[in-house]
Structure 1
Amino acid sequence: MPGPAATGTVGSVIEMTDLTKRYGAKPAVDGLTCTVRPGHVTGFLGPNGAGKSTTLRLILGLNAPTSGTVTVSGKVFRDLDRGLRHAGGLLDAGDVHPGRNGWDHLQALARTNDIPRRRVAQVLDEVGLAGAAKRRIGGYSLGMRQRLGIAAALLGDPPVLLFDEPLNGLDPEGVLWVRTLFRRLAAEGRTVLVSSHLMTEMEHTADRLIVIGRGRLIADEPVADFAARSTGTSVQVRTPHPAAVRDLLAAAGAEVTTEDAETLRVTGLPASRISELAFEARLLLHEVTTRTASLEAAFMELTAASVEYAAKAEHAASGKSGAAR
């Protein structure tokens, strides 16, 4: 199979314009407009019920939009011949016939997309399933089914790739392998869109984020810019004079909490100002370190109003289920 160097990935973008999908009166995707470009891994985030899976199905033509458009490389996916050569996707690792073996499953996909038989062996080897190719899929673990789904996505060597929760069931070695794979695919100039609820993994894997809530766009920006939206940035201060430093910084308007005998957590003042105040007061500091906000903290803050179902803390504490919002 020719790789992206041969086929080219120029224009291999996913373009959504006012994309809307309604089920009855309720919109699952609501006027979504954004572009997923080649050359980097784009994380696709949102609370449960935000419309992520529906959006992925709309991109791949598995559902039709109520209004608006979504195109892959400038065309509606359903209008593309031999679709797996244009875009590959892992949406549900369990959506395979359990009575088939891995080889037959991929071979059927290859035949319907005019993909050479040798490519089946190549992708099975790439995902680590060459030794299990003739085993029935019903006997695969969840992690093995995830690998098979990734193999199917790669089968046509497409310039556009979509993955919905690809890390489910993978062990640490598998997670590292997937992370490396996605980065390599992006470095080859492909468009890689990854939907995941694992914030820490997105920090390690994604370059950009598209965040939605209740089907609407919340953010479309680099990971670092999104994380910087959080109000959780703080400064860790280590000193042999914690009480004096705490009083000094509090008087300057900072919020100060004690983490241990010699460590303070400070918000409201930058590290440079903390150092200046301590120097002027002749108080020794052993450490002044800025702790940037985590992606998870920013995500929780920005999507709080878009959570479909949230348990109220006071009800959870009393053993009662929280009300849906």
Structure 2
Amino acid sequence: MIEVNELTKRYGDTTAVRNLTFQVRPGHVTGFLGPNGAGKTTTLRMLLGLIGPTGGSATIGGQPFRRHPRGLRHVGALLDAGDVHGGRSARAHLEALARSNRIPRSRVDEVLEEVGLAGAAARRRVDGFSLGMRQRLGIATALLGEPPVLLFDEPLNGLDPEGVLWVRELFRGLAAEGRTVFVSSHLMSEMEHTADELIVIGRGELIAAESVAAFAARGTRPTVTVRTPDLAQLTAVLSEEGAAVAPYDDRTLKVTGLSAARIGELALHHRILLEELTPQAASLEAAFMELTAESTEFLAGDAR
């Protein structure tokens, strides 16, 4: 289990993480969400002992990560897929880690096969890898020691659709084995399909710690898809009524702030033809955008 208690990190006058408290339980995929600059990566780095907190604590299995003598046997992590010596092959990179953590060499072949880097790919220099291949190598590194806890920061970057599906099933499988799987991602659609639980932060503070379904249901503004040949006129009418109107294509609008029934009434009153009027079910992305709206004002220099 991961436990964060009153965790705080300050950089001079900037507070990147403020009094953050949450738990990540085994047997679940837990998504870690927040706007850019919310403090997600800083939190993960404190969990792994890469930076020290200003206050509070972050423990894995009841103790700070630094106290685990063979780290990869206890926690597997992917924070930066590019943080690998480019002159080494994938196999050499994993073998060096296996030796330093007293992991059997046979495990290197197993994880290379599991992530799709066996054979010729394992012998290639890492500096010739695509971003997707580097991500797969990073995941192999995390899996190497068969740890009970796994941390991933944006693991889907650079992966093709087949790779995204593979990662989704991998994470679910790891959680089904009783492991703790903690995944930071900005891809709301993937978290909706992959995660069971969510930790959501903004400006370094906790916004929510609950199931995906419960968080999605917290979005209060209805979203409706509207299709019409009179796009400009309908946009003006709905905007005057106080709705937020976003064009999707040259005949379709995404409308928030008004119910489908009210949009239909307004269209009828103004004699505007509607070709489609579809209320959208509660979504993780809609709830996230609404509930973190006040947490996206970081200056570029403050984002960590």
Q: TM-score, normalised by structure 1?
A: 0.76
1:213 is aligned to 2:202:
yes
Q: Which runs of 4+ in 1 moved over 4 A?
A: 234-238, 265-271, 287-290
Contact 2:260 2:277 in 1 (8 A): no
Q: How many residues align?
A: 280
| Alignment map for 1:47-196 (pairs within 5 Å) | 47-131=35-119, 132-196=121-185
Question: Any idea what the Cα deviations from partners look like across 1:55-103, whole Å, max 9, x if unmatched?
Answer: 1111111111111001001011001110111110000000000000000
Question: Any idea what the Cα deviations from partners look like across 1:102-144, whole Å, max 9, x if unmatched?
Answer: 0010111111111010001100000000021111000011000
SS at match of 1:122: helix
1:305 is aligned to 2:294:
yes
**Structure 1 residue 294 displacement after superposition:** 1.9
Residues 126 and 49 (structure 1 numbering): CA distance in 2 closer, same or farther, change over 3 Å?
Answer: same
SS at match of 1:212: strand
Q: Counterparts of 2:27 and 2:260 in 1: how far apart (Å)? A: 35
RMSD: 3.3
Contact 1:60 1:78 in 2 (8 A): yes
- The share of aligned pairs that are identical, in percent, is 70
Contact 1:213 1:307 in 2 (8 A): yes
Q: Counterparts of 1:38 and 1:72 in 2: how far apart (Å)? A: 11
Residues 190 and 266 (structure 1 numbering): CA distance in 2 closer, same or farther, change over 3 Å?
Answer: closer
SS at match of 1:147: helix
1:34 is aligned to 2:34:
no
Contact 1:232 1:292 in 2 (8 A): no
SS at match of 2:292: helix
**Structure 1 residue 269 displacement after superposition:** 6.5
Contact 2:47 2:58 in 1 (8 A): yes
Q: Counterparts of 2:156 and 2:256 in 1: how far apart (Å)? A: 36
SS at match of 1:71: strand
Residues 308 and 290 (structure 1 numbering): CA distance in 2 closer, same or farther, change over 3 Å?
Answer: closer
Q: Counterparts of 1:14 and 1:64 in 2: how far apart (Å)? A: 17
Structure 1 spans left out of the alignment, 5+ residues:
1-12, 239-254, 272-286, 312-323
Q: Counterparts of 1:310 and 1:99 in 2: how far apart (Å)? A: 36
Contact 1:47 1:308 in 2 (8 A): no
Structure 2 spans left out of the alignment, 5+ residues:
228-242, 262-275
| Greater Cα radius of gyration, structure 1 or 2 | 1
Residues 296 and 234 (structure 1 numbering): CA distance in 2 closer, same or farther, change over 3 Å?
Answer: closer
Query: Which of 252, 262, 285 matches 1:296?
Result: 285
Residues 67 and 266 (structure 1 numbering): CA distance in 2 closer, same or farther, change over 3 Å?
Answer: closer
**Structure 1 residue 291 displacement after superposition:** 2.5
SS at match of 1:133: helix
Which residue matches 2:193? 204
Contact 1:17 1:33 in 2 (8 A): yes
Residues 268 and 129 (structure 1 numbering): CA distance in 2 closer, same or farther, change over 3 Å?
Answer: same
Q: Counterparts of 1:266 and 1:21 in 2: how far apart (Å)? A: 36
**Structure 1 residue 237 displacement after superposition:** 10
Give the counterpart letter for 1:20 in structure 2.
T
Residues 174 and 236 (structure 1 numbering): CA distance in 2 closer, same or farther, change over 3 Å?
Answer: closer
SS at match of 2:5: strand
Question: Any idea what the Cα deviations from partners look like across 1:202-238, whole Å, max 9, x if unmatched?
Answer: 1111111101111110111111111111123357899
Which residue matches 1:23? 11
SS at match of 1:161: strand
Contact 2:222 2:256 in 1 (8 A): no
Contact 1:179 1:205 in 2 (8 A): yes
Which residue matches 1:45? 33
Give the counterpart letter for 2:62 in structure 1.
G
